[in-house]
Amino acid sequence: MKTALVAPSILSANFTHLGDDIKRIQEAGADWLHFDVMDGHFVPNISFGLPVLQGIAKTHNMVNDVHIMIDNPREYAQRFVEAGADYLTFHYEACGSDSEVFEVIDLIHKYGAKAGLSIKPKTPIEKVFPFLNSLDLVLIMSVEPGFGGQSFIRDSLGKILRLRNYIDENEIKTLIEVDGGINEQTARECKQMGVDVFVAGSYVFNAEDVKAAIRSLKI
């Protein structure tokens, strides 16, 4: 079983010392840097957008893992890729049809990034199956998107396992990422179900020993 990748979410960083926090997690062994982009419409919160990504993207050596929780991902895909996204993940629920999902995936690839698709906790995992051969990543939300610090939704474990089985049975290379309520215990359970990438916010950034927190997720 390969080692999991860790993608700390800057939503939990100290924005008055953001550069220092990013350097700290990189030195502690983080693989990716996760950006939670919220528009106040698709989810009931507003975070940050293109200028923050653009300002940070080239200041570190981690993968820029950008999750856009926004309406109209088709309209913004090119701009987020050009701002520095290496992976750009959008929501299935933000699209009006399967053809629109494919269109956004194609746009992301066209402009040079890897494409991810995310689903909210109440969306069946089977909804992503038709797109897997075109996707680089599926992000399973294990909390309701919009706010950090929520508790892990345990129904997510079954979703992860069903997705892992489908990917393996069909010899697909799409990565499985999980975000929400991740700590040492929930990560261990998710890893047993087949997760490749862990997004963690407060568990990493609020840890007394950041290196130990990241190491505990690389299981």
Q: How far is CA 124 from the centre of its chain?
A: 18
Contact 176/196 with Cβ under 8 angstroms?
A: yes
Catalytic residue among 36, 65, 136, 196: 36
Pull the structure tokens for residue 187. Answer: 């990560």
Instruction: Tell me whether residue 21 is one of the annotated catalytic residues.
Output: no
Residues 2, 206, 178, 149, Cα dihedral to 10° = 160
Q: Helix 210-217 and helix 18-27: axis angle, to 10°?
A: 50
Query: Active site includes 31?
Result: no
DSSP secondary-structure letter at 96?
A: S
Alpha-carbon distances, residue 90 vs 85, 108, 119, 193, 214 (angstroms): 12, 10, 9, 23, 25
Tokens 């300002």, located at residue = 55
Q: Which of 65, 136, 179, 196 is catalytic?
A: 179
Q: Show the tokens assigned to 185.
A: 């215990």
Question: Which H helix or E strand runs over 140?
Answer: strand 137-141
> Are the CB atoms for 87 and 53 separated by under 8 Å?
no
Residues catalogued as catalytic: 36, 179
